[in-house]
Structure 1
Amino acid sequence: MKKNKSIIIFLIKFFVTYFLLVTFYNSYLQKSQQKGDVFKTSSITKAVADQTVKVLSFFGYQVAAIQHDKEVSVKLIIEGQYTARVIEGCNSISLIILFISFIIAFSGAFKATFLFAVFGSVFIYIVNVLRIAFLTVMIYKYPHKVGLLHDLVFPAIIYGTIFLLWVVWVNKFSNFKK
């Protein structure tokens, strides 16, 4: 019975946290994005695109991030060529919400839970910007591999990162460690 209680508590904590964070994030998106005659992405999505530009510029690429005029996305132009776009789903916030929900559901001491959620979220965000930069360059250099890169390599990087953080959390910091 104790094992079932632990599972039920995990599920309640996970879904309550997830629901609250998603509700807050969706409210933010409703207020910050614009669709219709004029399109505008959320400031977080724009920041991810701009930071991707900074990373690629650091490596010597001529790159720009331009608000798409026909959809809620930001175009990434590398060496004068429209190569990729950053949409809301690319900004890592939905994945950070999932990550935090899991950390809270498998919570440890408050301080450890809070710090791991914050630093893990920052790490996921940074890895995400780097993966978008990597994907943009790879699509620019190998446009015939866009399916492989976007559908397999791209998700493997971010989901692999989150999975490894979860493993570290459960084994080192949570109250469920053995």
Structure 2
Amino acid sequence: MKALLRKYKSVIRFIITFLVVYGVLSMGYNLYLNMSDGSKYYPDYLTNLVAEQTNSLLKAIGYDSQVIPHPDQPSLKVIVNGKYVARVIEGCNSASVIILFLSFIAAFAGKFKTTLFYCFAGSIIIYAFNLIRMVILTIGLYHYPWRQEILHSVIFPVIIYGTVFLLWMFWVNRFSNNKK
């Protein structure tokens, strides 16, 4: 047993570090969501921010859009040219994807400053890709509503999780202390 623990020490350390960081960040995020009163920024600040930034980007590329609170659900409705196209829910704000990303980077940590910088830069990249994803998804749903299932369930998760995977691979191959 001792030989197995020694042999797989780095794997065990990775799994424990990943789970601890993921658990702490997830609990912190859930605490944030539970403390969010939703009165000023509905349904919560981060989701509201993503919806408003998506709206700004849609307007910047020439769409007449607006974001309004959904009357029946904790979400925001995205209206394009007077047509209700999509709703922005808490899961659309990329926080859970960023938590997953950060947990992996912490589990494969390199030098402290490098790790901290990469966590910050990677989170910004994921957030930006998520905004672009939201804009493209909204435009896609506006023009091709019959493609909703493939757009929302296949193509756009591939974009966001593909980005995270590429960031992970870059980190492991370039900066991680665990690279071989």
Q: Give me the whole-angstrom Cα distance separating, in 1, the residues matched to 2:60 and 2:130.
A: 17
Q: 1:19 aligns with which of 23, 33, 42?
A: 23
Q: Does 1:10 align with 2:50?
A: no
Partner of 1:174: 176
Shift of residue 58, structure 1, vs aligned partner: 0.7
Distance 1:167 1:92 in 2: 19
| Shift in Å, 1:162 | 0.3
Residue matched to 2:107: 105
- C-alpha separation in 1, matches of 2:166 and 2:7: 24
- Please report how far the alpha carbon of residue 12 of structure 1 lies from its aligned counterpart in structure 2 after TM superposition: 1.1
Looking at structure 1, the residues matched to 14 and 108 of structure 2 have their Cα atoms a distance apart, in angstroms, of 7
Other structure's SS at 2:50 match? helix
How many pairs align? 175
CA distances 1:52-75 after superposition (whole Å, capped 9, x unpaired):
011111100001111111011111
Alignment correspondent of 1:133: 135
C-alpha separation in 2, matches of 1:67 and 1:176: 46
Unaligned ranges ≥5, structure 1: none
Structure 1: 4+ residue segments shifted above 3 A: none
Shift of 1:33: 5.0
Percent identity of paired positions between Structure 1 and Structure 2 = 49
Cα deviations across residues 67-92 of structure 1 (Å, max 9, x unaligned)? 11101111111111110111011100
How far residue 144 of structure 1 moved from its aligned partner, in angstroms, is 0.7
- SS of 1:30's equivalent in the other structure is helix
Distance 2:136 2:38 in 1: 28
After superposition, the CA RMSD in angstroms is 1.4
- Partner Cα separation in structure 2 for residue 123 and residue 172 of structure 1: 17
Counterpart for residue 72 of structure 2: 70
Counterparts of 1:33 and 1:40 in 2: how far apart (Å)? 8
Q: Distance in 1 between matches of 2:42 and 2:161?
A: 27
The answer to whether 1:144 aligns with 2:146 is yes
CA contact (8 A) 1:106 1:175 kept: yes
